[in-house]
Amino acid sequence: MPDHKLEGLQDQTTMTNSETPSPELRHSFSAQEPPPKGHWWIWALLLIALAVGGVFYYQRHSSGDSSKAKAAAPPRAVPITTASSHTGDIGVFVEALGTVTPVYTVTVTARVQGEIMEVHYKEGQMVKKGDPLLEIDPRPYQATLTQGEGQLAHDQALLAEAGIDLDRYKSAFSRNAIAQQQVYDQEQAVLQYEGTVKNDEGMVENARVNLGYTHIASPIDGRVGLRLVDPGNIVQAGSTTPLVVITQLQPITVIFSVAEDYLPQIMKQLRQGHSMPVAALDRTQEQQIANGSLLTLDNQIDTTTGTVKLKAVFPNADDALFPNQFVNARLLVETEHNSTLVPTAAIQRSAQGAFVYVVKPDKTAQMRPVKAGTTDGNETAVEGIGPDTMVALSGFDRLQDGAPVAIRGGKQSSENGSSSGDDQAAPSQNSGHGGKKSARNQPDGDASP
């Protein structure tokens, strides 16, 4: 007889086993379960670190590639302009501020008193020596002259009468008709009348001179200034008030001072009788106003400034120089011959000294140290390179020693474009004997070795 309890237990066990999920189903269920809530930030940090590392690796890789590309690319040529050095003469100049001074300046004042009757000149007129300028009323002085002439005539008659009496006394004394004393007295009377006549002659001459002072004429050739007195005014004799001022303009002089250091060179040229040219320049020292020559120098040195005054004379035929005008005087002290000359703009300066960039035949730049000497305008005498050497005039902010160049302009001295200049000519000797170095013509030296 079957056991119903046992069957019921087996059925329950079978049902329980059938409801149990398979391993695959259990695995899917476990995968769908969310991760623990306490560890999500660890995964976020891991993802951020991976992203940063990727970006860094990409940048390093790209920068390395660009550096390799730049290293592989050839350097670009620097565009420059050039010029060639040459052999020539250059002057040693001394420059100083000068003042234009007339050779003669006349301030006319009244020598006699009277009324101004006429003014014959016009303001700013050029006059010649002897031309009439002013007329003072001559009538009082004409009257004085007439009086003096009358007194002279009277005393001359008395002298003649005394002379006649003296002759008569001498004749009577020869016949023993009068005493010797009368003859002596008459001789002294004649001498007195002669003195009186001479005094009268002086008075007449003085009146004639004063009468001449009423007619004022120009004592020199020159230019009349502005009118200082008008007709109708009364002028006083011996007054310091000028009636007119006349200045000579042709020739004219310029006075300037130079340092005493240049005195031996200047004296050497003057002792040898050499004419030393002097140029008058404008305020900017760019335009030449007139040409002249050194006339003389002062006889002593100013101890307060250590300078000596020099005077130069200019023909001034075109009236370019005006009295009391300030000009820049440029004195040529001496001339240096057979010097190597380069454009002043080619010379650069650094802490080690002056240098130029020489363009080699392979179109590369080479820095060459030089010794700068005398500067004259846009040219400078140098030592360290020879003639026919091509030098750079621009592009100094990018030029380096050995850098390739591209010539945009300039004069080439040979078929190859340049020469090194080392073996072509020896450097000039004794350049820059104290000559003025024109700092305004020197470049700033924006390149350094």
Report the mean per-residue pLDDT for the chain: 81
Q: What is the pLDDT of residue 10?
A: 46
Query: Letter for the amino acid at 295?
Result: L
CA distance 157 to 175: 28
Q: Are 445 and 350 in contact (CB under 8 A)?
A: yes
Cα-based torsion angle of the residue sequence 227, 230, 235, 237 in order, rounded to the nearest 10 degrees? 30
Least confident of 48-52, 54-58, 138-142: 54-58
Q: What is the pLDDT of residue 74?
A: 66
Q: Is the pLDDT of residue 49 over 90?
A: no
More confident residue, 27 or 133: 133
Q: Are 366 and 379 in contact (CB under 8 A)?
A: no
More confident residue, 435 or 100: 100
Compute the average pLDDT of residues 187-195. 94
Q: What is the pLDDT of residue 309?
A: 95
395 CB-contact burial (10 Å; exposed 0-12 / middle 13-18 / buried 19+): buried
- Strand bridging mode 78-84 / 405-409: parallel
Note the pTM of the prediction, 2 decimals.
0.60
Angle, alpha carbons 403-407-412 (nearest 5°): 115
Q: What is the pLDDT of residue 151?
A: 95
Q: Is the pLDDT of residue 379 over 50?
A: yes
CA 334 to chain centroid = 19
From 407, 317, 333, 325, select the one nearest 374 (Cα to Cα): 333
Compute the average pLDDT of residues 44-57. 76
CA distance 138 to 374: 66
Which helix (DSSP H) or strand (DSSP E) does residue 183 occupy?
helix 180-213
